[in-house]
Chains A and B, each alone.
Chain A
Amino acid sequence: MNQTAQQDLRDEEIVALCQKGQSEVFEVLVRKYMEKAFRIAFDFTHDVEEAKDLSQEAFLRAFSRIKQFDGRSSFYTWFYRLVVNICLDHTRRKGRVIWERLERETERGTEPMEIADASSSPDQEAMAGEAKRRADRTLEAMPNKQRTAFLLRNHQGLSIQDIAKVMKTTEGTVRVYLHRAVAALRQSLLEFV
């Protein structure tokens, strides 16, 4: 099968081919989901190298478990769950380290990676930097489930239904997590509004 034909395949078809032993087509899934996987990991870690390692680990795990995928959920829901679980394990292990890094950034006033656009004035940039740091700290302080629900909805654009599948919970519970996360963020960012 040529590359163009592979690109046109649906996820379920790619998975079926992998399950039959054509594992080289898995690379299509890598190409398709690498950015999303990396972004989720980055939202959890705030570190490019860690995010790369964690998201790549998720791909390897998906690859080695592809035969266990039973198609009851979509591939991306199944894959997102792998990514999120790997990230949560990582943040549990490194929770303290992340906090310490954020503390250092605050002390040094390190400029975060994004948020301020090119047209912003220095004041606005400083303000945006501070807002970003505050938001990161609030997210870090949140219970894992609230943070996961928020990141998947706000940053990844997943539907409530899909988040419920990824987190293996009900839609009602996801709504509650999301509401609490948003309320906490709004409260902590009040002065920047």
Chain B
Amino acid sequence: MKEPRDTLQTACRDFEEDLVLHYYGDGSAAERSRVEGHLQSCSSCQEFLDDLRKLLPKMAEPSELPPMFWDNYYNEMVEKLAIHQERHAWWKSLFAPMRGWMVPAFGTAAVAALAIGLVVGRGHWHYPFSQTQERIPQEILADTNQLEFFESMDMLETLSSLEALDGTKVQPGNNHHS
């Protein structure tokens, strides 16, 4: 068995990309002659190209598959195409009476009908949230009223505290809560 190499001989930086193209037979005539000229005098680029020649063809070797595989592949594909076509034909026949110009016409008509419906039906519609107040149980409404009463009391208390701080005299008979 061949001893494996453990150091990578790099190609010249300016030539590496061109060497890859050269290997594949790509690049212009001018590029090719430039690379060939350089290869005459550069051993590391020559080695780089040799490595590509050894490695890359092996990678591209396709696995051999028996002819039966391809026959099955083809028959399966023909069957799939037939099923696809059948489905497509069914779908097409469903819309067969519809001509091309009919699609936008139907779309426009639908939008117009929706707009008219919105204009005419405005005011007749009942929104669910408009009835919320009616659905609230009486007990909760009573609690809400009490809450408002207590809030107003708090406000008066705050007012009197402010008056005390400010030194304002409170006339007897005026609201005074402590």
Q: Which residues of A contact B (CB under 8 A)?
A: 23, 26-27, 30-31, 34-35, 38-39, 42, 48, 52, 56, 59-60, 63-64, 113-115, 123-124, 127-128, 131-132, 135, 153-155, 159-160, 175-176, 178-179, 182-183, 185-187, 189-193
| Tally of contacts, chain A with chain B, CB under 8 A | 104
Given contacts A30-B78, A123-B1, contact A115 B55 (CB under 8 A): no
Q: B24 to chain A: which residues have CB within 8 Å?
A: 153-154, 178
Contact B1–A124 (Cβ < 8 Å): yes
Question: Could you give 19 example pairs across A and B, Cβ below 8 Å?
Answer: A30-B78, A38-B73, A52-B76, A56-B73, A60-B84, A63-B81, A113-B63, A115-B61, A124-B1, A128-B58, A154-B59, A155-B62, A160-B21, A178-B21, A179-B17, A185-B55, A186-B8, A190-B6, A192-B55
Q: A191 to chain B: which residues have CB within 8 Å?
A: 4-6
B129: CB under 8 A from chain A?
no
Choose among B26, B48, B65, B84 the residue that contacts A160 (Cβ–Cβ < 8 A): B26
Q: B1 to chain A: which residues have CB within 8 Å?
A: 123-124, 127
Q: Which of B59-73 contact A (CB under 8 A)?
A: 59-65, 70, 73
Q: B21 to chain A: which residues have CB within 8 Å?
A: 160, 175, 178
Q: B59 to chain A: which residues have CB within 8 Å?
A: 132, 135, 154-155, 185
Known: A64-B88, A127-B1, A185-B56. 11 other contacts (CB 8 A): A26-B81, A34-B73, A56-B76, A60-B80, A113-B63, A114-B62, A123-B1, A131-B58, A186-B55, A190-B4, A193-B54
Nearest A residue to B17 via CB reads A179
Q: A189 to chain B: which residues have CB within 8 Å?
A: 55
Q: B157 to chain A: which residues have CB within 8 Å?
A: none
